[in-house]
């Protein structure tokens, strides 16, 4: 038996692949930004919010963490329109990714917040900082620094998870691979190349976040 592989046929469609990569990166960037903010707010609510809010956030975190992303995505894209909210595939993808990342990020950031020594709170109180000031200037930066590797991994998991968004015809990388293989029937080659690109993306994004985190997110203001 001979196996013939024709990668060139796939690579000739590089504009499609490039567009897919841009969509994947764009979706990831938007949902990582909003997701981290959402996660931080939820972490704050869970560690020092009112009791009812802790309950709501706790339920949100558990529901998201114990159901598959694809079901969340289908629920947003197919389920919500039935309830009167119409969404484009791209908006639905971003919403699902944000909701998903928010739940995981909440748990991760909370772990960082819990690890803050008591003395830090006391020091902040003795400087007459308000609770909000204490949270954003004293508690959050070192907490983020501590859990940044975990957050980076989670962002990459969400990026890889976004491959599923092609199923609701968001034109990201896996959608591009699917489109190419439906044109030239080189399914295996198309998916090999897409997988290789995803691998490079996850290595690249990890390096980028490792570099950018300390510089722009939690390192700058101290010192």
Partner 1 sequence: MVDFSLWDIFRNLLLAARWTVGLSLMAFVGGGLVGLALLVARTARWPGAERLTAGYVQLFQGTPLLMQLFLAYFGLALFGVDTSAWTAAAVALTLYTSAFLVEIWRGCVAAVPKGQWEAAQSLALNFGEQLRYVVLPQATRIAIAPTVGFLVQVVKGTALASVIGFVELTKAGTMITNATSQPFLVYSCVALLYFALCFPVSLYARSLERKMNVQR
Enumerate binding residues for partner 1 (CB under 8 A): 1, 3, 62-63, 65-72, 74-75, 78-83, 156, 160-164, 167, 174, 177, 187-188, 191-192, 194-195, 198-199, 202-203
Q: Which is nearer to partner 1, 3 or 51 (CB)?
A: 3
In the complex, minimum distance from the CB of residue 154 to partner 1, in angstroms, rounded to a whole number: 12
Q: Which is nearer to partner 1, 111 or 129 (CB)?
A: 111
| Min CB(151)–partner 1 separation in Å | 16
Which lies closer to partner 1 via its Cβ, residue 66 or residue 126? 66
Instruction: Tell me if 9 sits within 8 A of 189, measured CB to CB.
Output: yes
Instruction: Give the span between the Cα atoms of 93 and 99, in whole angstroms.
Output: 10
Cβ atoms of 151 and 210 closer than 8 Å: no
Distance of closest approach, residue 16 Cβ to partner 1, in angstroms: 16
Q: Which is nearer to partner 1, 63 or 125 (CB)?
A: 63
Minimal distance in Å, beta carbon 201 to partner 1?
9
Q: Which is nearer to partner 1, 90 or 189 (CB)?
A: 189
Question: What's the CA gap between 220 and 127, in Å, rounded?
Answer: 21
- DSSP for 11-62 reads HTTHHHHHHHHHHHHHHHHHHHHHHHHHHHHHHHHHHHS-HHHHHHHHHHHH
φ/ψ of residue 171, rounded to 5: -85, 55
CB of 193 to partner 1, least distance (A): 10
Residues whose CB is less than 8 angstroms from the CB of residue 219 and which lie 6 or more positions away in sequence, other chains included:
145, 213
| CA 13 to the chain's CA centroid | 28
In the numeric block, which tokens belong to residue 159?
A: 């990026």
Q: How far is the CB of 202 from partner 1 (least distance, A)?
A: 4
Q: Which residue has the tokens 């997988």?
A: 195
Closest to partner 1 by CB, 113 or 186: 186
Euclidean distance between CA atoms 26 and 31, whole angstroms: 8
């Amino acid at each position: 038996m001979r196996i013939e592989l024709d990668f060139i046929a796939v690579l000739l469609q590089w504009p499609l692949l490039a567009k897919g990569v841009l969509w994947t990166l764009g979706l990831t960037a938007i949902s990582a930004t909003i997701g981290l903010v959402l996660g931080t707010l939820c972490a704050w609510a869970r560690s020092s919010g009112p009791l009812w809010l802790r309950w709501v956030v706790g339920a949100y975190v558990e529901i998201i963490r114990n159901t598959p992303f694809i079901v969340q995505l289908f629920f947003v894209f197919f389920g919500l329109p039935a309830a009167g909210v119409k969404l484009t595939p791209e908006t639905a993808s971003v919403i699902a990714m944000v909701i998903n990342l928010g739940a995981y990020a909440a748990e991760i950031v909370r772990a960082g917040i819990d690890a803050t020594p008591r003395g830090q709170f006391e020091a902040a109180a003795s400087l007459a900082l308000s609770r909000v000031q204490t949270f954003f200037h004293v508690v959050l930066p070192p907490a983020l620094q501590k859990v940044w590797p975990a957050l980076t991994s989670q962002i990459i998991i969400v990026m890889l998870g976004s491959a599923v968004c092609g199923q609701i015809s968001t034109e990201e990388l896996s959608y591009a691979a699917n489109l190419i293989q439906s044109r030239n029937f080189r399914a295996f080659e198309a998916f090999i190349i897409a997988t290789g690109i995803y691998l490079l993306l996850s290595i690249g994004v990890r390096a980028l976040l490792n570099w950018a985190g300390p510089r722009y997110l939690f390192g700058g203001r101290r010192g």
